[in-house]
Structure 1
Amino acid sequence: MQPRIVICTGGQLGAWALEHIKAGDLLIGADSGARFLISQGLRPDIAIGDFDSVSAEELAIIRSSSGQTIACDPVDKDYTDTEMAVRLSLDMQPSELVLLGALGTRFDHSLANVHLLALAAKQNVRATIIDEHNKITLATEQIMIQKQGYPNVSLLPLTMQVKGITLTGFQYPLTDAALTIGQSLGISNVLTAPTGTIQLSEGLLLIIQSRD
């Protein structure tokens, strides 16, 4: 089992991302995410993707600077580069999965990447998407969160309905509540305690911690 895997993929990345990489992490660069890691002086353990976002010269550097390179045809493939990286990571049974660069200007890719949190949850792996302003995870039962510089906490159902939601340590508490897709009831809550507890009995609940 791999303790923690960090995937850098091709969305918005910057110096902020380095704060979320720890010694001992297994690093996977998906497409141009591998180029980013190398540009920051880091060696991807695995580079994966169709590499249609990098030049031939950059791909040569990625191949020579990564522990392993897994390349596929840009047309004849079933998954996005990020999903290939996530599926590869889950095969290694990590205790935790962190995705950097999974959000960006392509909303279709961003939304698809958020849905990948459900793929990890099915294998009982806690996965988190982090960018400069957001930290997104998925709850299937009880989960505890801390402020960590994010003043806002929003809850959005990823299934049609999430039931049995109970919040402890929040400005706006809920007790055995239900959230349905299309409702904004769970937007912009605030932690009033150092740690907040979110509990649910049924469904998949997105937890989005954010700052402006």
Structure 2
Amino acid sequence: MRVNVLVGGPIDLLPLAMIKKRQAEVWIGVDRGAITLVENNIIPAAAIGDFDSISSNALASLQDDLRQVDVYPPEKDYTDTQLGVKLAINKYQPEQIDVFGATGGRLDHLLANIFLPLQKEFIAYLPKIRLIDVQNTVSYYLPGSYTVDHEAGKKYLAFVNLTPVKGLTLVDEKYPLTDWDGDIPFSWTSNEFTAPQNHFTFEQGVVAVIQCADRL
């Protein structure tokens, strides 16, 4: 089962065609993301957040239209995105959580969202979380050997160690790498696929893999 979470990032960065194709799937709207879903004829299973970015009338409309609207105070221990992911995990225990609207806008929000899966509360779900926008798909990996399927339209492939990493090997990408160790976060950026599937391995740490494209 897949749960989709739409948070309140810039609308122009949303892959709306993909989102609309998933209309029948489970959606959680986070803050303004709930409004965006309704405006695109998708009724979320739940809405959650402090809703400080929408009017009181818009919030009242959500409360009238949706079965579950969880309102939190702005001063809280979790970000709105964290609340949405927590709800997805606790309510559905899905095999995949795809988060949309988590990029663009404020850099502090972007960094909080990128590092979210590393937090103690989410680390067990780290391999099941993806961040998706119109240009990028961010996937997370724990140590092991992996195959990466090339997404259509995504020319570039980046490997980003988010923690100290040991033994990172890019097996058959355009720019290979062998048994690399690093102690600080680092992005091996602008690599490329050489086939519909490429492979990589590493022995320790957390690696994010980003498939991305320039925006025309």
What TM-score, normalized to structure 1?
0.90
Query: What's 2:181 paired with?
Result: 178
Identity of aligned residues (%): 33
Matched-pair contact (CA < 8 Å) for 2:160–2:209: yes
Deviation string for 1:101-126 (max 9, x for gaps)?
Answer: 00121100111001112244423551
Quick one: which of 132, 135, 138 aligns to 1:133? 135
- Measured after TM superposition, the shift of residue 67 of structure 1 is 2.8
1:23/1:199 CA distance change after superposition, 3 Å = farther
In the TM superposition, what are the counterparts of 1:130-209 in structure 2 within 5 Å?
130-141=132-143, 142-148=145-151, 149-159=153-163, 161-181=164-184, 183-184=186-187, 186-209=188-211
1:46/1:135 CA distance change after superposition, 3 Å = same
Letter aligned with residue 37 of structure 2: L
Residues of 1 paired with 2:186 and 2:39: CA distance?
Answer: 42
Residues of 1 paired with 2:175 and 2:105: CA distance?
Answer: 32
Query: What's 2:15 paired with?
Result: 16
CA RMSD of aligned residues (A): 1.8
Q: Is there any run of 5+ residues in structure 1 with no aligned partner, and where?
A: none
SS state at 2:130 partner: strand
Residues of 2 paired with 1:12 and 1:143: CA distance?
Answer: 32
Matched-pair contact (CA < 8 Å) for 2:162–2:186: no
Number of residue pairs matched?
Answer: 207
Residues of 1 paired with 2:63 and 2:127: CA distance?
Answer: 29
Query: What's 1:93 paired with?
Result: 93
Residues of 2 paired with 1:96 and 1:182: CA distance?
Answer: 25
SS state at 1:57 partner: helix
Q: Is there any run of 5+ residues in structure 2 with no aligned partner, and where?
A: none
SS state at 1:29 partner: strand
- Measured after TM superposition, the shift of residue 183 of structure 1 is 4.3
1:83/1:106 CA distance change after superposition, 3 Å = same
Letter aligned with residue 156 of structure 1: V
Letter aligned with residue 162 of structure 1: V
Letter aligned with residue 199 of structure 1: T
Residues of 2 paired with 1:154 and 1:125: CA distance?
Answer: 17
1:55 lines up with 2:55 in the alignment: yes
- Measured after TM superposition, the shift of residue 168 of structure 1 is 2.7
Letter aligned with residue 140 of structure 1: L
- Measured after TM superposition, the shift of residue 64 of structure 1 is 2.2
Deviation string for 1:139-197 (max 9, x for gaps)?
Answer: 113332222121111111111x211212233011123222342545x111111011112
Q: Once structures 1 and 2 are overlaid, which stretch shifts more, 163-172 or 30-39? A: 163-172
- Measured after TM superposition, the shift of residue 72 of structure 1 is 1.1
Residues of 2 paired with 1:196 and 1:104: CA distance?
Answer: 28
Query: What's 2:77 paired with?
Result: 78
SS state at 2:41 partner: coil
Residues of 1 paired with 2:168 and 2:211: CA distance?
Answer: 17
What TM-score, normalized to structure 2?
0.88
